[in-house]
Structure 1
């Protein structure tokens, strides 16, 4: 089981045709990563060698079969090689069925390691929806995979960037459908889930602000009834239950106030509301945390960037932050 001072962090390599291998290599070239954790890459050795060559990075690959076998020394990449690609047919920046299948297998293996207690967390690199579809992988993204592979229910996404934490009441649905999901029951439920997630991350007695939907949070029904009829009653239900929740706070100010420390987290009502706030704060350092799983999962919040894959252009800042955040919170997830 994972009981060392430094936690083992699994890093599935991502889509082999995307920037995942490159940003993994660049991140593991940084000594500070090894100061905080024991990173285990799950992927394909030959792809990692290509990434080393492309990035002009001089690191040794140490193939292992179990995390406990790793060296975890700066200058060495400890790697579980699944050898699941025809490397001769691999092309940077191209949708390929074999890459979609391989990316899923890296994630599946990482999940198995986490469920077995051999790693404390997973820090994921980008995967590509088109590649997954071409490879007949029956999931559209990480969250759906993780939900199914762990038999979890509706994982809760949280963004962290600097001093700002953002949860999401709704995810990948149209704005019209998102509004229809903004019921007082759902607001109440999600405030409770947010508090539970924050406490597991080590935030004691958290104060959660719920963002408003309409301009100025509707001005008591002047600009819309959603706050009056659903959002505020849901917050009141949560307060009656003993949760520390306030709002709805106008969305044009609540995220800034949370960044300044007034709130421990904000419950964003729909996808772009929270995404814009986080990414405008610091695009590269916005990291996604998936709560509600049996283990901790962090992720970069960008895609496979096929247009620049294999060109040594991709920044690794987000991946570095992703790994560091996994290491920061991993102790809170140890049994």
Structure 2
């Protein structure tokens, strides 16, 4: 038995990679990532989606990839195993459409089923389009909310992980007004605990966590709002009493700089843009989106469907490669 076959027998494929919205760049970047792998790595990677769409994308980029049905796949032989999810309806290139949104949803659903059945260990998702998802009747705020619903998880958290700066979010895809309402002591405590557990699992024995303030200058003593003193500070004090190495609230205009210089392993951001902007500024091409708090593990690209360049052979798979490498670490398979 080869090493790849042995790993397969012990726990299925390392990664189940979904194609994302087929009208976007998802199929192309999945093919680019697959062709960059060694035969053994491809043998540990399972593609989820429509084989015909994958073959079209491979032909477009002149990639020599052979796709075979999951039931006929032999781990480690260099071919790509595909868990087939067929498109139902027309999928125009580079355009929002219900058929594309539905296929993207069904790919994620199939990946969850594969992980739950022990056929794969970590889900890696290519980008989907929320408007297409909603057009198909799947009213989720994105992958993280969808995965929480599919797995029955009571809550989930979005981690943006990069070498220099990582952020975990108290809230993500809600309005700014809604994000402020979600800043509660309980949610902050749950977010810090989820981030701490993940970092420990990744080999950081004593994670140093900073909690960003909500208001400018953390409210400046209540002048610019009282949430920092009334909610965030008590939550941090309670976490410290529980043994977490956590500081905050720290003004958002300095905390990300301090973390990027190595003072903290993780910053807990209070809302979507507060955490996304600094990470994308520092590491746009290599930031990995990781879902925490779910019964399945999932990594993803941190960019969208790029309809403007879809199906033109111009997409860059660097970010997906980083997401796959992170997923391999989660799966215990190494990854570079």
Query: Is the structural similarity TM-score above 0.5?
Result: yes
Measure how far apart 1:189 and its partner are: 3.3
Describe the superposition over 1:243-281 as per-residue Cα deviations: whole angstroms up to 9, x where unpaired: 211111221222222223211211001110100011001
- Residue equivalent to 1:169: 170
Measure how far apart 1:116 and its partner are: 1.1
Deviating beyond 4 angstroms after TM superposition, the runs of 4 or more aligned structure 1 residues are: 1-7, 32-37
SS of residue in 2 equivalent to 1:315: coil
Q: Structure 1 unaligned runs (5+)?
A: none
C-alpha distance in 2 between matches for 1:35 and 1:22: 18
Picking from 84, 88, 96, the partner of 1:81 is 84
C-alpha distance in 2 between matches for 1:274 and 1:21: 28
Picking from 75, 96, 101, the partner of 1:71 is 75
Alignment check: 8 A CA contact 2:130 2:142 kept? yes
* Alpha-carbon RMSD: 2.4
Alignment check: 8 A CA contact 2:11 2:118 kept? no
Alignment of 1:152-301 (within 5 A): 152-301=153-302
- Residue equivalent to 1:60: 66
C-alpha distance in 2 between matches for 1:174 and 1:309: 29
Structure 1 residues 109 and 183: alpha-carbon distance in aligned structure 2, compared to 1, 3 A threshold: closer
Measure how far apart 1:100 and its partner are: 1.7
- Residue equivalent to 2:324: 323
SS of residue in 2 equivalent to 1:117: coil
Measure how far apart 1:73 and its partner are: 4.6
Mean alpha-carbon deviation: is it higher for 176-185 or for 39-48? 176-185
Structure 1 residues 324 and 137: alpha-carbon distance in aligned structure 2, compared to 1, 3 A threshold: same
- Residue equivalent to 1:17: 23
Mean alpha-carbon deviation: is it higher for 180-189 or for 145-154? 180-189
Q: Structure 2 unaligned runs (5+)?
A: 1-6
SS of residue in 2 equivalent to 1:8: strand
C-alpha distance in 1 between matches for 2:277 and 2:40: 32
Alignment check: 8 A CA contact 1:22 1:314 kept? yes
C-alpha distance in 2 between matches for 1:268 and 1:218: 16
Measure how far apart 1:230 and its partner are: 1.7
SS of residue in 2 equivalent to 1:247: strand
SS of residue in 1 equivalent to 2:71: coil
Alignment of 1:129-144 (within 5 A): 129-144=130-145
Structure 1 residues 19 and 33: alpha-carbon distance in aligned structure 2, compared to 1, 3 A threshold: farther
Structure 1 residues 3 and 292: alpha-carbon distance in aligned structure 2, compared to 1, 3 A threshold: farther
SS of residue in 2 equivalent to 1:202: coil
Structure 1 residues 3 and 204: alpha-carbon distance in aligned structure 2, compared to 1, 3 A threshold: farther
C-alpha distance in 1 between matches for 2:84 and 2:103: 11
C-alpha distance in 2 between matches for 1:116 and 1:26: 28
Structure 1 residues 215 and 132: alpha-carbon distance in aligned structure 2, compared to 1, 3 A threshold: closer
Number of matched residues? 327
C-alpha distance in 2 between matches for 1:298 and 1:305: 19
Alignment check: 8 A CA contact 1:43 1:80 kept? yes
SS of residue in 1 equivalent to 2:203: coil
Structure 1 residues 236 and 112: alpha-carbon distance in aligned structure 2, compared to 1, 3 A threshold: same
Mean alpha-carbon deviation: is it higher for 175-184 or for 7-16? 175-184
Alignment check: 8 A CA contact 2:11 2:119 kept? no
Measure how far apart 1:138 and its partner are: 4.0
SS of residue in 2 equivalent to 1:164: coil
